Amino acid sequence: MSSISRHGESKRQKSRHQNSLSRFFAIAFVCVFCVFSACQLGARDPESPGFVQELAAPLSEVQQALDELLQDQTIHGTYIFDKERTLTGAKTVSQTLLFEHWKGTGSVYYKIRTEAIAPRHFLDSADQGTIAVRYIVTSLNSLRTRLRIDAVFVESARRTIHPSDGTVESSEFKVFQEHLQAIQLDEQEALDAKRRRDSIDVAKRTIVLQRENENTRLSSAESSNQDLEQRIHSLRQQIQRRVKAPGANLKAAPFRSAANVTNLPAFTDVVIMIVTPHWFGVETPDGRRGWLPLDQLESLP
């Protein structure tokens, strides 16, 4: 082989070697970058899927139900031991570093459970750490409120954050909803009771008013009756007289010498039919008519 051929072959081998080195360094760089990126992503706080629900309830009712949930000392939807699937020992705190500072609107509340060992329903949870549940309450208007619930498990040693798979948030919301429904039921029953009392009061006032009206009508009727009786009495005083004791003879004409029609006993009531200066033409209770002198009659009592 000529020296020119050997020299060309050497150059080609050198070029292939350089290309191999370039590919090696490029692959190595990509691997290092991926590892670095993975480390950087692992250092970030994983974001909980969370639970957000708009409620047809005013802020006051939601706040009351949440207060009851915060005080139950239980993290719902997770557990440590298979034989004991209720995780108690939780406490309410005003703030915690296990969540980033909330910058949105609304009020924030926390419930934590320390010394939890690999709790269930937290993604890839391991070792011992703290469970933290965050509740964010936002008033939308006078009748609607939004509630957000997030839950995480943070390992004590490595400070690795494990978000909930959603079971904790939904379980917490279920218990919250039970409290809210009980509160709303109590308020509805109280409102119904008030309506019943108001209805009874209205009925009582109506009955009282009816009685007052009836009494007014009765009083008016009694007054009218009294007026009528007085008028009747007045008319009787005008048209009736009573025979004085010991009695009198009913005359056929207004003369003392006139014939007697009948003898009227004392205190017989007669109706005056004709009036003259000295005699009254009268009618007796049995229908007889005649004349009596004025001095033998007296007014009715």
pTM: 0.57
Domains and CATH numbers, the chain: 51-187 (3.30.530), 238-298 (2.30.30.40)
Closest CA to 70 of 111, 108, 98: 111
What is the C-alpha R_g of the chain? 56
DSSP three-state, residue 271: strand
121: CB partners within 8 A, 6+ apart: 77, 78, 164, 165, 167, 168
Q: Would you give per-residue pLDDT tens digits along the chain (301 residues)?
A: 444 444 445 555 555 545 554 554 444 443 333 333 333 323 233 444 579 999 999 999 999 999 999 999 999 999 999 999 999 999 999 999 999 999 999 999 999 999 999 999 998 888 999 999 999 999 999 999 999 999 999 999 888 999 999 999 999 999 999 999 999 999 999 999 999 999 999 999 999 999 899 888 888 888 888 888 888 878 877 888 999 999 999 999 999 999 999 999 999 999 999 999 999 999 999 999 999 999 999 988 8
128, β-bridge pairs: 117
